[in-house]
């Protein structure tokens, strides 16, 4: 397929999903669902302790629970970036990625995320949503992929940030271990649903109009390490999720061959 030629019809619909994403962030019902356990724990401790010590203290249970949710929500992205050891991109290494992100965001109307890096030989990139969306690439990926391949990976990641799963996935990842598997599965359904991470390959192709770029990126990293210490909780937010085996990677590559 020539670059710029629209792929198949379902990809052409992707662009409509990115409109009107410039919204103020706030604590909503889904955030409360994610942080229900720590909020309930704070409420129980303060309420019971207040009644046992001095009953007016129990009145603080509700505001302290709300403060707990707000603090976890606000600091989710910062917490994850700290665990990953992410840093700002250097002027030389990050210029091409910054340009790709800016161009794709201008073309689609997506709010431009921050771009950061992790110093590791592993080849991967993660899309962290939350209150301040961020793309974090490994230096190994920057050194391995060429321009077109990297653009495919960036487009894949941007498509994640445009979904509810991408936005709320960061809150869920930062909430571990105070979150159940049922809650994690529900958050995952808000994003890719049953289609899994491969659905973002399709969305990414819808942005670049060039399946060979993303396919080649998957082929290049297939034989390399992709696991990043401290990033396990982010799951499907990674370009190559921690649980990915060669068979799953092969299916993604095969699908992109069919779209080429």
Report the pLDDT value the prediction gives residue 23, as an integer from 0 to 100: 52
Predicted confidence (pLDDT) per residue in 119-164, tens digit: 999 999 999 988 888 999 999 999 999 999 999 999 999 988 887 7
All structural domains of the chain, each given as residue ranges with its CATH number in brackets, are 76-259 (3.30.2010.10)
Report the pLDDT value the prediction gives residue 195, as an integer from 0 to 100: 60
Looking at residues 83-103, what average pLDDT do you find?
83
The pair of three-digit structure tokens given for residue 255, joined into one six-digit string: 């699908």
Looking at residues 203-207, what average pLDDT do you find?
90
DSSP state string for 176-220: TTSS-HHHHHHHHHHHTGGGTTHHHHHHHHHHHS-HHHHHHHHHH
Lowest mean pLDDT among 53-57, 80-84, 152-156, 213-217: 53-57
């Amino acid at each position: 397929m020539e670059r710029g030629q629209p792929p198949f019809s379902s990809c052409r619909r992707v662009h409509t999903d990115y409109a009107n994403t410039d919204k103020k962030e706030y604590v909503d019902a889904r955030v409360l669902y994610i942080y229900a356990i720590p909020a309930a724990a704070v409420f129980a401790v303060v309420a019971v302790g207040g009644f046992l010590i001095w009953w007016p203290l129990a009145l603080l249970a509700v505001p302290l629970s709300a403060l707990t949710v707000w603090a976890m929500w606000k600091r989710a992205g910062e917490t994850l970036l700290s665990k990953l050891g992410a840093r700002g991109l250097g002027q030389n290494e990050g210029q091409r990625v910054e340009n790709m992100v800016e161009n794709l965001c201008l073309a689609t109307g997506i709010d431009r995320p921050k771009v950061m890096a992790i110093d590791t030989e592993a080849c991967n990139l993660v899309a962290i949503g939350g209150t301040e969306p961020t793309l974090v690439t490994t230096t190994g990926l920057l050194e391995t992929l060429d321009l077109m391949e990297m653009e495919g990976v960036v487009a894949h990641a941007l498509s994640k940030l445009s979904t509810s799963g991408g936005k709320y996935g960061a809150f869920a990842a930062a909430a571990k271990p105070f979150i159940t598997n049922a809650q994690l599965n529900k958050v995952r359904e808000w994003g890719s649903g049953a289609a899994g991470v491969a659905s973002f390959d399709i969305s990414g192709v819808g942005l670049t109009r060039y399946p060979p770029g993303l396919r080649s990126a998957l082929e290049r990293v297939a034989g390399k390490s992709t696991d990043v210490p401290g990033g396990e909780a982010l799951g499907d937010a990674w370009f190559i999720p921690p649980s990915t085996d060669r068979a799953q990677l092969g299916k993604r590559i095969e699908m992109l061959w069919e779209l080429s």
